[in-house]
Amino acid sequence: MVLCIIILDIIVNINLKQSNIKFNKGTVIIASAGPGSVDLITLNLINILKLADVVIYDALVNEEILSFCKKNVKLIYAGKIKEKRACTQTEINDWLVKYSHKKNRVLRLKSGDVSFFSRASQEINFLKKNNIKINIFSGITSSQAAIHNSKKIFFNKSEICNFITGHKMIKNKKKFDYELITKNGGKIFIYMGVSQIEEITNNLLDKGIDKNEKVTIVYNASRKSQKIFHTNLNKCCGLIKKKKIVSPAIIIIK
């Protein structure tokens, strides 16, 4: 990993001179840190890290990525997961305004791809309302790492792919359309679904998905602590309880 970072650092020092990235003072960039591995971040992100004066980063961001920051950078941990809850969303919003108004280059660093099931849209709307200049940089989402590392999941351009989030099922007043998912066919990728897996599997089974349908669970995709489990839909809940699988995990059905 150290060798990887050194090589990337050499590449970036060359690339930084040629980069077209505009990171002006007083600007906020919301950027994707990828699923975890340093190997899966973009050159754009490394360039941004080199320039940032303030980095506000989430709990699931691999802290090794922060080694690309300049020496005098201000790092602010903004994790909000239960066991590492450091702040509220209001505090994060306050930091974004405070440091951008002080003419800092502010990087809001979020795990995965900020355009995939993240709260980035809330922060984008807040920054727009406060007339703060923003830019968005996408990255690799965790399902991509899960597909690659499972080595068993492939699909072609004619197949349908369903992406859903279990997290939304708790708060969403709209009834989730399981029938539509089952009619679509194809693979089902579930983000943040571990805590809701019993409800999800029961509904899918009720709508006619075969109880023996293959399920792959990838915990901490791309990280050193990654674990991959194979089961079927009928036994999925039992496996998660037995192995004490927690978030972050991608659940892939079919």
Give the Å distances, CA to CA, from 250 to 31, 94, 126, 155, 183: 21, 32, 29, 17, 22
Q: Do 142-253 and 25-137 fall under one CATH topology? A: no
Q: How many CB atoms lie within 10 A of CB 196?
A: 19
What whole-number distance in Å separates Cα of residue 197 and Cα of residue 80? 22
214-219 and 187-191 beta bridge pairing? unpaired
Q: Is 3.40.605.10 the CATH number for 142-253?
A: no
Q: What is the pTM of this model?
A: 0.85
Q: What tokens appear for 141 in the block?
A: 């989402």
- Which CATH architecture is the domain 25-137 placed in? 3-Layer(aba) Sandwich (3.40)
Whole-number pLDDT of residue 84: 65
Alpha carbon 78 to its chain centroid, in Å, reads 15
Out of 132-136, 160-164, 189-193, 250-254, pick the least confident.
160-164
> Domain spans of the chain?
25-137, 142-253
235 vs 183, residue with greater confidence: 235
Categorize the per-residue pLDDT at 137 as very low, low, confident or very high, splitting at 50, 70 and 90.
very high
Q: What is the pLDDT of residues 161-186, one digit of tens each?
A: 889 888 755 555 567 788 988 888 88
Give the Å distances, CA to CA, from 24 to 72, 107, 177: 17, 11, 44
Q: What tokens appear for 88 in the block?
A: 């509220």
Phi, psi (deg, nearest 5) at residue 136: -120, 135
102 vs 181, residue with greater confidence: 102
Which among 184, 178, 238 has a CA at the least distance from the CA of 205? 178
Whole-number pLDDT of residue 107: 99
Whole-number pLDDT of residue 12: 47
